Amino acid sequence: MYYPKSQIKQNLYTNGEEYILSTTKENYIGYFYEISNGDKYSGDPSSNIENILLIQQNPNIQSNSPFNPNQIIPQKSIIGVNSYPDDPINSQYPSISSIPIYTLNNKDFKLGRSLPIPTHPQPSQQDYDLGVFMRYFTKKNNENIYLEISKETYNLLKVQDPKMAWDLYTPLSISWELVGEQDKVFLTNKNIVSLAEQRNKWYGFTQWFKDNFLKYHQNLASQENLYTSGKEFKTPNGREYIGPYHIHPQNGAMVGATHIKKKHDSLTPINSTILSPQSSSQPPPNISFSPSTGGGGY
């Protein structure tokens, strides 16, 4: 049916989540027009492309005005860990930059796909037992902008999942040292990051860390010849432990004054707060003891 121009509203635009195509029931994003009876059709009435009737799916969103990009919320989360200003370490990172792609609900409105968002990972006890854990990052392809991401987001980008804007970002994983002598851990992590920068041409990636290559480092030193008079630790069978003990860098408090190759029990703190070596009691005078050789790991 023909409608004169006076009965057609043209150059209307929807950002999505408002109309679906009557033919395929797919979410519609783009230009549309409205005729005098209120029906809305995709595209331009003057084009040779078939215009499809639109069905309104969300009456709360109104787009009956010419397209204005300033009405769309820009995505700002790009310099990953700086999104956590309360973290005294991460607050050292560069300020947040904006992605030059307008987004709505953290989605690229042109492509209808999710953008990677920053994460704040924490190593597990199993990671500390292994001494390393994996960290995941991504770089915006057309800029030297980096952020730390989750393993799940890394995997989606890696397999080019259609729900993610995988063609706009490149993912990277690196192994991060957690335990060991401080200077060695610092150099190891720095060298890993520097090598990743060189191999992938991620210029400025090393500087992005602000020399914080000891992040998550477990700074425990072996402490020996300690003594507890009770109410601090319990043995694997649940009994309160009284006697000499030592603190191993990886295994924590253990039975015996010194660490030996034979198996000996690990001790579990009675309170939820693990006591530091500095708060542990030294052996009282005139007490002699020998290391325990009980069962357990070492």
**Residue 233, Cβ density class (10 Å: 0-12 exposed, 13-18 middle, ≥19 buried):** buried
- Are 189 and 99 found together in one domain? yes
Q: Is the pLDDT of residue 284 over 60?
A: no
Residue 216 in any domain: the answer is: no
Whether residue 30 lies inside any domain: the answer is: yes
Question: Secondary structure of 45-67 in the HEC alphabet?
Answer: CCCCCCCCEEEECCCCCCCCCEC
Task: Tell me the pTM.
Answer: 0.44
Same domain, 15 and 89: no
In this model, does residue 93 exceed pLDDT 90? no
| pLDDT exceeds cutoff 60 at 251 | yes
Asked which of 65, 97, 113 is the last residue of a domain, the reply is: 65
Q: Each residue of 141-181: pLDDT tens digit?
A: 999 999 999 999 999 999 999 989 999 999 999 999 998 88
**Per the structure, how many domains does the chain have?**
3
Please tell me whether residues 204 and 266 are part of one structural domain: no
Residue 289 resides in a domain = no
Domain identity same for 52 and 107: no
Q: Which residues contact 298 (CB under 8 A, 6 or more apart)?
A: 248, 251, 254, 259, 260, 261, 262, 263, 264
Based on the domain organization, do 170 and 199 belong to the same domain?
Answer: yes
Q: Are residues 90 and 60 in the same domain?
A: no
| Mean pLDDT of the residues in the chain | 75
The pLDDT tens digits for 182-233 are: 889 999 999 999 999 999 999 999 999 999 999 998 766 667 788 999 888 8
The answer as to whether 74 is a domain residue is: no
Instruction: Tell me, yes or no, whether 75 lies in a domain.
Output: no
Q: Tally Cβ neighbours within 10 Å of residue 45.
A: 16
Structural domain boundaries, residue 153:
80-208
Half-sphere exposure of 123 (CA within 13 A, CB side): 20
Phi, psi angles (nearest 5°) of residue 17:
65, 20
Least Cα distance to 33 among 242, 19, 25, 23 occurs for 19
Domain assignment present for residue 217? The answer is no
The answer to whether 291 and 260 are in contact (CB under 8 A) is: yes
Residues 59 and 93 in one domain: no
Top-confidence residue, 94 or 237:
237
pLDDT surpassing 90 at residue 260: no
Residues 59 and 137 in one domain: no
Dist CA 60 CA 32 (whole Å): 18
Distance CA 251, CA 267 (A): 9
Is there a domain that residue 256 lies in?
Answer: yes
270 and 189 share one domain: no
Q: Which tokens is 246 given?
A: 């030592």
